[in-house]
Amino acid sequence: MTRLSSYFLPTEREPPADAEALSHKLMVRAGLIRQVGAGLWSWLPAGWRVHQRVVQIVREEMNAIGGHEMLMPVLQPAELWRRSGRYGIEELFKLKDRREADLVLAMTHEEVVTTHVAAAVKSYRDLPLILYHFQVKERDEPRPRAGVLRTREFIMKDSYTFDRDAETLEVSYQKHVIAYDRMMDRCGLEWYRVEADVGMMGGTGAHEYMAPCPAGENHVVLAGGYAANLEVASGEPQPVALEPALDAPEVVPTPGMTTIEAVATELGLPHGALLKAFPIVLDGDEMRLVMLRGDHRVNEIKLRTALGTDFRPAHPDEVTARLGPPGYIGPVGAQMPILLDDGVATGGYVTGANQPDAHLRGVEPGRDFRFERVDVRAVMPGDTINGATIRIEPAIEVGNIFKLGTRYSKPLGATYLDDAGHEQLIWMGCYGFGPARAAAAAVEQYADEAGISWPQAIAPFDVELVTLGKAGTEERAFADGLYGELQELGLEVLYDERDAGPGEKFIDAELLGCPLRVTIGRRTLGAGEVEVQLRRGRETTSVLIEDAAEEIAALWREQP
RNA sequence: CGGGGCGUAGCGCAGCCUGGUUAGCGCGCAAGCUUUGGGUGCUUGAGGUCCCCGGUUCGAAUCCGGGCGCCCCGACCA
């Protein structure tokens, strides 16, 4: 029974003062979620219905590829995480029990699931396996934000695959591609499957499922058939006009000009005719000088991948000691390996001279300094990929799929005996999906001035039935009957029979955003009609009262 | 980790700079009348540890110190 007069749906006229993202504002205003603390949210009844609908879609698609649902604990012994080498992760919540034993609140479940599989799986005959669960995940986020988009505690579907080798892992991975494509479609989202960073811990391939929307924290790069996270995207830069070649580098005085902007303006050159020097210090304390075009920016994730190790930008005193005054450093004469970005074409460039108040012009890579080629720049609007101009869109990462390889099976001892009786490591994959993010993305993608407009499959209710008549009126009697009939047809109905004005009811209904709003008023009823508003587009139509329920159900089935 | 901002009724805010009776406003809430197809109008009313602790002062929402909490931007995000 979901009669609004006795339901818990606290709507607000105004959004919370500190809300920024559209989904944050609307989900609070519509009475779907409430904040408990930074990055900690309660799901109120209507919001939880949305969440559960997403969960059910995900569950059905996981089962369809042979997944087996299970459940693993959030609270876990620290020992497991020490063994996998993840105990040091800053985002991992750590705590002690009363006996001072170290415990963690799990952020994912690779350690536990791998331990179970390691203990139980003996033979190649036991593989492959797809295991999954929905569970609360805990992450000590440096900065929770945007309502339910980035929280410290959230429910995630995690699945894990166990295979004999890289080849069969690929099969399990492709099954997930199919399942995830369907999940995103069924949730009614606009989405892209993009190439993703595999991270420092290895892994042999990864994709992310991105839902484009303004509040997205990630950026997807799109060009023709190409789709990648900005973190890994590569492209061809727009060409830049260089100065005429010189026989040898030539010093130009540039007093006080320590920025690309200042030097380019002084010399009347485009930013791209300069080379930017980015000095870094590797984990082992060695220095490197990364050179890229003046109008380009370093993509630190690509750089980290290219280096194969972590790094930090060099401190000013390190720069002064090893190269020259910050703002004037360059590759010529630098006593350290130089990494030259792929975006730098051959030709003469302006670079720092490694001495105060001076730059060099006519510097040619190769002739004037030795280098190693790397692809470490962030692509930018105007770049092309296979001839197609890229565009960059903000997006929410709703899901990700990842080939782990033997990252966890090795430290946790997950092996099997192959058909020749030899012990082999199990090849794993992991696959995450965030229902809360799917819901928030849907809010972002389809909201209008009046509020949320849910995709049909994940709306809190299929129909919001609004009666304008008070108890005892003919309209109310008709609406009561229609409420029952719609439910008998299998529709989930929210029945607004509150003693409130029509304006208030309409505004609340449109804020909540169920696909159909059915209005029973004296005027339309007298005309033998029932009014139906299609929330997407807010157009109104009407059906005859004789078979109103069936007609409404038919309309509902047509909704996006 | 760096920068900025906020904390006063359920929600949104004013008051603070320049200390001084019962701390205000809008919305919401309760009651009555009114209205009944787009937050109707009027009347009455309830509702507050002014984030917490300490200090200054005759007197602190207001000034000072410390703490806690929350938001935004950037960094970070296995």
The distance (Å) linking the CA of A383 with the C1' of B21 is 70
pLDDT along chain A (560 residues), means of 10: 88 85 91 90 94 97 96 92 88 86 92 93 93 94 87 94 94 96 96 80 78 88 83 83 79 79 78 83 78 84 78 76 78 82 83 82 83 85 85 90 91 91 93 95 92 96 92 88 95 92 92 95 90 93 92 94
Pairing type for strands A68-69 and A129-138 reads parallel
pLDDT number for residue A203: 64
Name the DSSP class of A138.
Answer: E
**Alpha carbon A219 to chain centroid, angstroms:** 9
Nearest protein residue to the C1' atom of B40, measured from CA:
A501
Nucleotide of closest approach to A145 (CA, C1') = B71
The predicted pLDDT at position A495 comes to 94
Which protein residue lies nearest to nucleotide B37, measured between its Cα and the C1' atom? A502
Distance CA(A407)–CA(A541), nearest Å, equals 57
Query: Which chain B nucleotides are covered by protein, judged by CB under 7 A?
Result: 1, 5, 11-13, 26-28, 35-40, 69-78
CA atom of A254 to C1′ atom of B21, Å: 69
Instruction: Give me the domains of chain A, ranges plus CATH numbers.
Output: 17-72+106-217+393-443 (3.30.930.10), 250-375 (3.90.960.10), 461-558 (3.40.50.800)
Residue nearest to nucleotide B70 (CA to C1'): A38
CA–C1' A133–B53 (A): 46
Q: What pLDDT score does A201 carry?
A: 55
Q: What is the ipTM of this complex?
A: 0.89
**Measured CA to C1', what is the nucleotide nearest A402?**
B78
**Which nucleotide lies nearest residue A142, CA to C1'?**
B76
Q: What is the pLDDT of residue A356?
A: 82
Asked if A332 and A351 touch (Cβ cutoff 8 Å), the reply is yes
Distance in Å, residue A108 CA to nucleotide B13 C1'? 42
pLDDT at position A30: 93
CA of A499: nearest nucleotide by C1' is: B36
Read off the tokens for A346: 């051959």
- Rounded distance in angstroms from the CA atom of residue A16 to the C1' atom of nucleotide B60: 30
In whole angstroms, B9 C1' to A19 CA is 21
Separation of A461 CA and B39 C1' (Å): 23
Write down the pLDDT at residue A113.
95
Give the pLDDT of residue A202.
57
Spell out the residues 6+ positions from residue A69 whose beta carbon is closer than 8 angstroms to its own: A59, A62, A63, A132, A133, A134
Residue whose pair of structure tokens reads 């280098």 in the numeric block: A371
B13 nearest neighbour residue (CA to C1'): A17
Distance A16 CA to B12 C1' (A): 8
Contact, A15 vs A25, CB < 8 A? yes
**Nearest-CA residue to the C1' of B73?**
A143
Q: Tell which residue, A5, A7, A8, A45, has the closest CA to residue A479.
A: A5
Q: Taking the C1' atom of B27, which residue's CA lies nearest? A: A13
What pLDDT, on a 0 to 100 scale, did the predictor assign at position A199? 65
